[in-house]
Amino acid sequence: MTEVNIFNNINEEEKKRLLTCLNAKKINFKKEQSIISNIQNTSTIGYIISGSADLLRYDFNGYRTILEKYNENDVFGDMLANTNNGELMVIATSDCEVLFMDYDHLINKCKKNCPYHTTIVNNVINILSDKVNKQNERIEILTKRSIREKLLEYFNTISKNKISKTFYLPFTFTDLADYLSIDRSSMSREIKNLKDEGFIAIQGKRITLLY
Amino acid sequence: MTEVNIFNNINEEEKKRLLTCLNAKKINFKKEQSIISNIQNTSTIGYIISGSADLLRYDFNGYRTILEKYNENDVFGDMLANTNNGELMVIATSDCEVLFMDYDHLINKCKKNCPYHTTIVNNVINILSDKVNKQNERIEILTKRSIREKLLEYFNTISKNKISKTFYLPFTFTDLADYLSIDRSSMSREIKNLKDEGFIAIQGKRITLLY
DNA sequence: ATAAAAATGTTGCATTTGCAACATTTTGGT
DNA sequence: ACCAAAATGTTGCAAATGCAACATTTTTAT
């Protein structure tokens, strides 16, 4: 889904030199491990080489909300603009390899030495634009007033991205409820209604929009 | 509130030359006028010289949602990552002057000629980061499960930004309800509860957090 | 200054949603 | 293949929210 990659237009040779220059470090994480606690300072950004992770928030009631999902080539970290209010965490949802780099180094320090600086900066702009777009989608969904509307807006968004009326949920239903910030059983009830009323067909995680 | 400005670190002299080179056009709008319909193509971005405007969405039920508020020095437009699904519009909330520029020109074409290109690019990164942060705040608010929690999260956000327990709402209550995506009368009821229970003090738009 | 329009405050009632509790199915690990 | 854990499905009931309708206050335009 993510088209932009911080290393777009930088070949493997250049990339290797760049990583040395950036003092980048690769760390492996097992599924369920906490990634963000391994980030020492707020100017560190993480780049997912392989695997996946979630950005989570637990509020004081214990409610969990999935704020973002990260996959291969995604970048995360405070400098890429996650409000750092302490209750956030990034958890590996599968075994994954993460490359840690220093943001300031990436953006500023290289400026004089490194010919790939301009390319990196343009990639960062694209990553940020992409992120803003995804957040816009999320906001569109969350501002819908009912569970039904939230579900349909969410389904439409996926359908548009996949350019298909049929698609597979990238979530368990339990996680989807957290993502939409609604009660799981109420969501389950509403999905049943949508099915009964002929709006959608659904087998497991495979959903087809019938409208 | 917005600290970053696309013309940061570019002096007036340089700015003038830049605007000529960018083929920038200034247009004045009266309060309530539609700004976005004046944007011809999606690579145009608007810069608010003075005044204010809202990015609005009307859904098929006629519900209005305020997606973003723009003030002096803010920048908006598709290239700065607003999902362009047709139902969006930017409306002047006061008389305002808007400077229209071509985004590609700003980012790419100038590259060889214009020494301020690097500065502009860094400013764009800051603007995007800032936008991601604001959207994060919005998402934090919208994912709260109850009207009470949404209100408190919103008040806390403003309070943090102003570094004060007392602040003035930048909204009418009617608009605030649209921003929080909740029913106005229900919100009004809950604000009364918060007041009665001693969580907040409120006179008009002046709110003080008492916790 | 005045009238009209918009915003705010308030309340009863219908509806939706959340919650709890439990049954059933699927998944993951050994 | 088996067990345990997680996910899913289901439902009655309580609580929160939305809706409608109206009164009151504030804002805006002339």
User: What CATH number has the domain bearing residue A177?
Assistant: 1.10.10.10
Contact A132 B136 (CB under 8 A): no
CA distances from B197 to B146, B165, B189, B211 (A): 17, 17, 12, 11
Residues A113 and A46 in one domain: yes
Tally C-beta pairs within 8 A across A and B. Answer: 93
Query: Which residue from A31, A94, A83 is spatially nearest to A57, judged by alpha carbons?
Result: A83
A139 is a domain residue: no
Q: Which nucleotides of D are covered by protein (CB under 7 A)?
A: 6-12, 16-21, 27, 29
Q: pLDDT tens, A144-174?
A: 999 999 999 999 999 988 989 999 999 999 9
Mean pLDDT along residues A63-91: 73
A7 is a domain residue: no
Residues B27 and B88 in one domain: yes
Burial B142-177 (b: 16+ CB within 10 A, else e): bbbeebbbbbbbbbbbbbeeeeeeebebebeeebbb
CA distance B59 to A152: 13
Q: Nearest CA to the C1' of C7 belongs to which residue?
A: B174
CA distance A169 to A178: 14
**Tokens standing for A88?**
């956030």
A29 is a domain residue: yes
Q: pLDDT tens, B62-98?
A: 566 777 888 888 888 866 655 545 567 888 888 888 9
Instruction: Give pTM, 2 decimals.
Output: 0.84
Question: Shortest CB distance from B128 goes to which of A61, A129, A143?
Answer: A129
A113 is a domain residue: yes
Q: How far in angstroms lies nucleotide C10's C1' from the CA of residue B190?
A: 12
B190 Cβ nearer than 7 Å to chain D strand: yes
B116 is a domain residue: yes
Q: Are strands B206-209 and B44-50 parallel, antiparallel or unpaired?
A: unpaired
Burial class (CB in 10 A: 0-12, 13-18, 19+), B26: exposed
Mean pLDDT along residues A49-72: 77
The single residue listed with the structure tokens 């604000």 is B191
Question: Where do the DSSP E strands lie in chain A?
Answer: 25-29, 44-50, 53-58, 64-70, 75-76, 88-92, 96-102, 166-168, 200-203, 206-209
Residues A152 and A130 in one domain: no
CATH number at residue B103: 2.60.120.10
A6 is a domain residue: no
Task: Say whether pLDDT at B26 is over 60.
Answer: yes
The helix (H) or strand (E) run that includes residue B101 is strand B96-102
Mean pLDDT (chain A, rounded): 83
| Residue where a domain terminates, one of B105, B131, B157 | B131
Q: For residue B200, give its domain range.
A: 144-209
Q: pLDDT tens, A106-149?
A: 776 555 556 677 778 778 888 888 888 889 899 999 999 999 99
Residues A40 and A108 in one domain: yes
B138 DSSP 8-state letter: H
Predicted local distance difference test score (pLDDT) of residue A104: 77
CA distance A37 to chain B (A): 20
| Residue A48 CB coordination number (10 Å) | 23
CA distance A78 to A83: 7
Q: Which nucleotides of C are covered by protein (CB under 7 A)?
A: 6-12, 16-21, 27, 29
Residues B175 and B199 in one domain: yes
Question: Chain A contacts of B57, Cβ < 8 Å?
Answer: 140, 143
B59 is a domain residue: yes
CA distance A109 to B106: 23
Return the ∠ at Cα A83 (arms to A80 and A88), rounded to 5°.
105
Task: Say whether pLDDT at A1 is over 60.
Answer: no
Mean pLDDT along residues B191-201: 95
CA distance B154 to B160: 10
Query: Which residue from A106, A134, A112, A139 is spatially nearest to A22, judged by alpha carbons?
Result: A106
Q: How far in angstroms lies nucleotide C18's C1' from the CA of residue A178?
A: 14
CA distance A126 to chain B (A): 10
| Residue where a domain terminates, one of B76, B102, B131 | B131
**Tokens standing for B118?**
């690097």
Residues A116 and A157 in one domain: no
Contact B129 A65 (CB under 8 A): no
Predicted local distance difference test score (pLDDT) of residue A41: 61
| Residue where a domain terminates, one of A134, A152, A170 | A134
Contact B132 A81 (CB under 8 A): yes
Phi-psi region of B77 (alpha: psi -120 to 50; beta: other; left: phi over 0): left
B157 is a domain residue: yes
B143 DSSP 8-state letter: T
Predicted local distance difference test score (pLDDT) of residue B1: 43
The single residue listed with the structure tokens 């969904």 is A141
A66-70, A113-117, B111-115, B189-193 — which is least confidently predicted? B111-115
Rg (CA), chain A: 19
Domain count within chain A:
2
Residues B123 and B150 in one domain: no
Q: Tell me which of B84 and A12 has the higher pLDDT.
A: A12
Question: Chain A contacts of B137, Cβ < 8 Å?
Answer: 83
- Please, what sign has the CA dihedral across residues A79, A85, A86, A89? negative
Q: pLDDT tens, B150-163?
A: 999 999 999 988 88
Residues B18 and B78 in one domain: yes
Residues A58 and A116 in one domain: yes
Residues B16 and B113 in one domain: yes
| Residue B179 CB coordination number (10 Å) | 22
Predicted local distance difference test score (pLDDT) of residue A145: 94
Rank A38-42, A156-160, B5-9, B112-116 by mean pLDDT and report only the highest: A156-160
Rank A29-38, A129-138, B181-190 by mean pLDDT and report only the highest: B181-190
Question: Chain B contacts of A63, Cβ < 8 Å?
Answer: 145
Task: Say whether pLDDT at A73 is over 90.
Answer: no
Residues A66 and A128 in one domain: yes
Mean pLDDT along residues B11-17: 82
Residue of B nearest to A59 (CA): B144
Residues B79 and B39 in one domain: yes
